[in-house]
Amino acid sequence: MSVRHTFSREFIVERTWPFVLDLSIAAALLAAFYAIIWIARFWFSSAIPEVIIQRSPSHLPLYAFYSTVRIFIAYIISLVFAIAYGYIAAYNRRVEALMVATLDILQSIPVLSFLPGVMLAMMSLFPSRQIGIELGAILLIFTGEVWNMAFSFYSSIKSIPRELHEACTINRFSAVQRLFQLELPYAAIGLVWNSMVSVANGWFFLIVCEMFPVGSRNFRLPGLGSYLQTAASNGDTHALIYGLITMVLIIVLTDQLLWRPLIAWSDKFKFENVESADRIQSPILHILRNSNVLRYMHRRTFEPLGEGVYRYFARRQDHYVAKKEEARRPARRRSVTLVMLFAGIGVFTAIAVAAFHAALLLRHIQTHQVISLLEGAGATFLRVNISLLLASLWAIPVGVAIGFNPRIAHFTQPLAQIAASFPATALFPVLLLALMNRGLGLGIGSIALMMLAAQWYILFNVIAGAMAIPSDLKEVASLFRFRSLQRWTTVILPGIFPFLITGLVTASGGAWNASIVAEYFHIQGKTLTTLGLGAQISAASDRGDFPTLLLATIIMALMVVTVNRLVWRPLYRLAETKYRLD
């Protein structure tokens, strides 16, 4: 029996706190329920051909809400898909190499070039409903979010220690129990960090896909992205500022309400045997953990459900073992193999036919078009590298300065993290308006836009790298009075190298993706454009010129994959071997 502190003050606090907590959580649950109904009503209404985007700030909360819902639905689909993909790739020897190579290529294909095709397909699937356009947008965001998560889950599974696997086998864990007690927990930390990157990517694309023309048709989804673009087109600075503030608010709230609690929670999945001293604290997680309502709900729903699932699979396994003895198993296995074979042949034929049709499309392209595409590719390649170089020039010294000063790093690192997850596409209209006022063209402007998309990754990683340099190395440098050049070449640059490479790889991906938006822009009724592959892709999708779109996309994907193979991968290997600090 616990002691009763009848008149103790703590007792009253203990009793009132959970009550307040429970009230707020109940309110949150009600709100979630209401939100679901709202979204459903909107989505299943008939399609709205051309949504009028209101520029008054009073509409902003609703727009922000629609955009956020799109992001998170896409995120949840990505999560499920990533786990399934990573799981199959890790456990099926036969398809593993193929699936990992596919991941590598899909990761480098510019998502935005799919936009027109996907939209038209989804519209024809749900001809009369709003849900068609919505699903199109969600599908696009999904393709921007999913690959890094799938890769993270795959590599986590591959690195599970052998003895943990053996412990599962010897104790006869079913696949479901193994998933929930071994694989998911082991992969949790990687998944959480990659989720943050993914959602940031999602915003980047969403801002663009909420409003775009394909041929003569103009698609618009009510949301934050379309609001920002409408405001920019009309030169409405006030609306632009309101929109940007809302964006910042969403990013900060997501960080505080979702990521921080998740990071704090995932701390228990750290696979290390010592308790670490500095942990991220999250008041939200504290509330969730101490809520009676949630605990009650958990006890009534998830616990019995989990119980039932585990027991079902445990029983099934018993049957399975018993059945093994019987002679009819080989026959069943044969039929399964047969079905798999037919399915494989079917999928293969479908891919082959689609590829053939796509190749047929390319017939329509003339030589001069190919040449101009190649010129554009060269221009974009140059622009991407210049923007990376410029971004590195300021981000490396600043990042090192911040990283070497723990007091500054303490509050700038979360800021850099938020800046990195702020979608650059939301700032494009603002930046463009400023550039146009100065009379600068898109030729230089697009470089600035790409930098905007790329620089934060570099800064963020350099700060982390500078913080990871052991202080004794820095002490050696001061002890022997290294000049600043020597200090940079022998201590700082090698020390941050692995982090810098990670940052540059991500930044280069961001810059390539940004090129599609940055080189071609509709603003104030005008179309700004410059020579570049990105502009050619955007223009082709504007005209509904699918052959050019296809070829341009293929060229871009090939360039990105080639650069990854020839430049980044060797550098990565170097970072992992020669410049590892441990």
Partner 1 sequence: MSEPIIRAQQVEKFYAHPSENRIQVISPTDLSIVPGEIVALLGPSGSGKSTLLRMLAGLSRPSGGEVLWHGQPISKVQINVSIVFQSFALFPWLTVLENVEAPLVARGLDPEERRHRSLKILDTVGLDGFEAAYPKELSGGMRQRVGFARALVVEPEVLFMDEPFSALDVLTAENLRSELMELWHKKTIPTQSIFLVTHNIEEAVLLADRIIVLGRNPGHVRTDFKVTALAHPRDRKSQAFTQLVDYIYKVLTRPDVAPAAMPTLAPGRKIRDQRQMRYEMLPHARPGGIAGLLELIIDLTGRDGSGRADIYRLADELGFEIDDLFPIVDAAVLLGFLRVEEGDAVITPAGLLFAESEILKQKEIFRQAAVEHVLLLRQITRALNNKNDHTVPQEFFLDMLDEQFSEEETERQLETAINWGRYSELFDFDAGRRRFILPETEEAAPSVEETE
Binding to partner 1, residues 330-359 (CB under 8 A): none
Phi and psi, residue 363, nearest 5°: -55, -35
Burial of 482 (0-12, 13-18, 19+ CB in 10 A): middle
| Nearest distance in Å: CB 8, partner 1 | 25
Shortest distance (Å) from residue 108 CB to partner 1: 28
Distance CA 229, CA 232 (A): 5
Distances (CA, A) of 338 to 320, 343, 346: 21, 9, 12
Q: Which is nearer to partner 1, 50 or 275 (CB)?
A: 275
Question: What minimum distance in Å lies between the beta carbon of 491 and partner 1?
Answer: 20
| Residue 173 lies near partner 1 (rule: CB under 8 A) | yes
The minimum distance between CB 24 and partner 1, in angstroms, equals 27
Q: Do the Cβ atoms of 495 and 466 come closer than 8 Å?
A: yes
Q: Which is nearer to partner 1, 177 or 380 (CB)?
A: 177
176 vs 294 by CB, closer to partner 1:
176
What region does 527 belong to: left with phi over 0, alpha with psi -120 to 50, or beta?
A: beta
Piece of 126-134, 195-203, 265-273, 338-346 that binds partner 1 (CB under 8 A): 265-273
Task: Report the residue from 5, 238, 268, 298 that binds partner 1 according to the rule CB under 8 A.
Answer: 268
Name the phi and psi angles at 353, rounded to 5: -60, -45
HEC profile of 321-350:
HHHHCCCCHHHHHHHHHHHHHHHHHHHHHH
CA 508-550-559 angle, to 5 degrees, is 30
Q: Can you tell me the distance from the alpha carbon of 504 to that of 417, in angstroms, rounded to the nearest whole number?
A: 16
Q: Which is nearer to partner 1, 311 or 526 (CB)?
A: 311
Output 131 or 187, the one with its CB closest to partner 1: 187
Q: Is 95 in the site for partner 1 (CB under 8 A)?
A: no
CA dist list (Å): 57 to 70, 71, 219, 246, 257? 20, 21, 22, 10, 24
C-alpha span between 94 and 41 (Å, rounded): 45
Kindly list the distances between the CA atom of residue 353 and the CA atoms of 103, 117, 359, 546, in Å, as whole numbers in the listed order: 22, 17, 10, 17
Residue of 24, 45, 169, 524 that binds partner 1 (CB under 8 A) = 169
Among 49, 61, 161, 215, binds partner 1 (CB under 8 A): 161
Given candidates 314, 433, 554, 561, which one binds partner 1 under the rule CB under 8 A? 314
Is 42 a binder of partner 1 (CB under 8 A)? no
Out of 10, 50, 278, 325, which residue is the one contacting partner 1 (CB under 8 A)?
325
Contact call for residue 160 and partner 1 (CB under 8 A): no
Site for partner 1, residues 177 to 206, rule: CB under 8 A: 177, 181-182, 185, 188
Binding to partner 1 (CB under 8 A): which residues in 459-518?
none
Q: Which position among 34, 271, 296, 342 is part of the footprint of partner 1 (CB under 8 A)?
A: 271
Q: What radius of gyration do the chain's Cα atoms show?
A: 27
Q: Give the total residue count for the chain.
A: 582
Please give the size of the binding site for partner 1, defined by CB under 8 A.
34
Q: What minimum distance in Å lies between the beta carbon of 277 and partner 1?
A: 13
Residue among 238 and 578 whose Cβ is closer to partner 1: 578
Residue 547 binding partner 1, by CB under 8 A: no
Q: If you ran DSSP here, which 8-state letter would residue 560 be given? A: H
Q: Exactly one of 49, 91, 166, 281 binds partner 1 (CB under 8 A); which one?
A: 166
Candidate segments 40-48, 176-184, 245-253, 392-400, binder of partner 1 by CB under 8 A: 176-184
* Residues 419-438 contacting partner 1, CB under 8 A: none
* Residue number with CB closer to partner 1 (37 or 170): 170
526 contacts partner 1 (rule: CB under 8 A): no
Taking a C-beta distance cutoff of 8 angstroms, is the pair 361, 547 a contact? Answer: yes
Under rule CB under 8 A, residue 93 binds partner 1 = no
Count of CB atoms situated within 10 Å of the CB of 426: 25
The single residue among 14, 307, 475, 576 that binds partner 1, judged by CB under 8 A, is 307
Could you please report the per-residue DSSP string of 410-459? HHHHHHHHHHHHS-HHHHHHHHHHHHHHHT--HHHHHHHHHHHHHHHHHH
CA 94 to CA 275: how far, in whole Å? 40
Q: Which two tokens stand for residue 418?
A: 């938020």
Interaction pattern, residues 275-294, with partner 1; x per rule: CB under 8 A:
x-------------------
- The tokens for 417 are 């993290």
Q: Which residues bind partner 1 (CB under 8 A)?
A: 161, 163-164, 166-167, 169-174, 177, 181-182, 185, 188, 268-275, 307, 310-311, 314-315, 318, 321, 324-325, 578
